[in-house]
Amino acid sequence: MTVRVILRNPRREVEVAGRRRVRDLLKDLDILPETVLVIRGDEMITADTVVGDEDVIELRPVISGGRA
């Protein structure tokens, strides 16, 4: 079982073996959960969601800003 992870900024793809929770996958990739949105298909998923079984997830950086 593998999970294909699409990362943005810079755009790249990695495959991670095994079934695991999103929070553990992010930890293995050395990514802070608060810095990305995790998307599977058309839905945003949480850190407690288990991924595997040929899932494809996308990690999009969280961008904030506003008026000074």
Helix (H, G, I), strand (E, B) or coil at 43: strand
Domains and CATH numbers, the chain: 2-61 (3.10.20.30)
Rg of the chain on CA atoms, in Å: 12
Find the length of the chain: 68
C-beta of residue 25 within 8 angstroms of C-beta of residue 14 = no
CA distance linking residue 64 with residue 34, whole number of Å = 12
Q: Is the confidence at residue 65, as pLDDT, over 80? A: no
Q: What is the mean pLDDT of residues 32-43?
A: 95
> pLDDT, tens digit, for every residue of 4-28?
999 988 899 999 999 999 999 999 9
